[in-house]
Amino acid sequence: MSLRELGLAQAGADPRWEAMCGPGDLFCTGRWLAVEREAVGPWVPRARSCLAAFDGPEIAAGVVVQQFDRDADDETVRLDKMLPAEVLARWDDPVSAVQPSLMCGTWFNSTVLTAPGLAGSQREKVRRELVDAVVERGRQWGCATVFFPFLDADDVQLREALRDAGFAEFPAPARHIFNCDFPNYESFVASLRSHKRHRLRRESAAVRAAGISTACQALDGSTVETAARLAHLLERKYDQRSTFDEMAAWFEAIARHTDTVVFTASRGTGPPIAMSMWIHHEDRMYGFHAGFDYEQCQGLPMYSLAGFHLPIEYGCSHPGIRALEYGCSSDQAKLIRGTTGMAQVLCVKPLTALAQPLLNHRSGGTVWVGLPESIDGVTGE
């Protein structure tokens, strides 16, 4: 095996890299790497590249690495916003303790990609070599930490490799998936328990009474500005630092390089007041962003409509879609609307003496493998 660094353009154009990306790997594909190459939007890393392990002329495995610091403020890329409060309490300035950090994998995907058909023992060996490579890259780039933020808890071999390499392990937010195993939307509704069906009926009645109209459109030059405006309103609600221009430039890049649709809701023939954005990859749709005009949405179930009812209806009726990827966070809201929570872990290796207290919280491999207790007994049934 030989290890090489590939630029985003080089990896994205290489069919050997693309062959390692399955339905769950949208954010490592060439199309998404093309979005990242534009270096626009609210969370642009300081540096990024792809590390690949070659077996002769073939790529056996690979991982995307991105360096982030305090200039990025989103919790999906900021390690100091992912760690448990009791860990953060060990430092007066936790941001300085763990930043800059090297994130392995891209949006909601912390795996090490491997070539199809790679034998089990060879797969384990090459992934361990790449783990060592990303740690070395973290040192070269002057990082305080290296982390895999959203690692499948069932990937016990990679978790073991990370522990052996000196990574500490913490529970991470569950990843949510809706399986579109229904012939149509009506079948999905009929499968729900009675209290959930009643919730849907109440929400549908409120939408009809308000004269709400809905649409599904491609994200393109005619829809980017509306989507960016609504997304920016959501960002402002949660005190993010992103600007409208950053959101618009980012969405324009996504529109150029991916197959993306936007579900919108409007008051009659007026402009959209709610939207959710979904990227199509193989047999899945990835929920990537949402946005709301909160003043116009007041009192209406727009979160449920734009984020769940419309995408689920679309997914169940589309023969090529098997699942909707809802990402992480908002567990209870997603579970009561039919998603399944998949357990994940956060793995972190300190590279400096200041970051070393992270290892004092080493879990020994014991993490929750079902739903966190904060769900209060609610399940996706």
Q: pLDDT tens digit string along 182-232?
A: 999 999 989 988 888 888 889 999 999 999 999 999 999 999 999 999 999
| Residue from 62, 66, 5, 79 nearest 35 by CA | 66
| Kind and range of the H or E run holding 214 | strand 212-218
Q: Please give the pLDDT value at position 365.
A: 40
Using CA atoms, how far apart are residues 31 and 253, in angstroms rounded to an integer? 10
* Residues 120 and 156: beta-carbon distance below 8 Å: no
Task: Please tell me whether residue 106 adopts helix, strand or coil conformation.
Answer: coil
Mapped onto helix, strand or coil, the DSSP state of residue 67 is strand
**Residues 6+ positions from 268 with CB-CB distance below 8 Å:** 211, 212, 213
Secondary structure (3-state) at 24: coil
- In sequence order, what are the beta bridge partners of 2? 54
* Share above pLDDT 90 across residues of the chain, in percent, rounded to a whole number: 76
In whole angstroms, give the CA distance from residue 278 to residue 310.
11
Which residue ranges of the chain lie beneath pLDDT 70? 361-381
Cα 166–Cα 80–Cα 83 angle in degrees, nearest 5: 60
What are the pLDDT digits (tens) for 308-331? 999 999 999 999 999 999 988 888
Give the pLDDT of residue 7. Answer: 95
- CA pair distance 216, 14, nearest whole angstrom: 33
Which tokens hold the place of 66?
């991105």
C-alpha span between 211 and 266 (Å, rounded):
8
Q: What is the pTM of this model?
A: 0.90
pLDDT for position 333: 85
pLDDT at 151: 94
Looking at the DSSP bridge assignments, the partners of residue 281 are: 284
Region of residue 223 (phi > 0: left; psi between -120 and 50: alpha; otherwise: beta): alpha
Buried b (16+ CB within 10 A) or exposed e, 69-81: beebbebbbbbbe
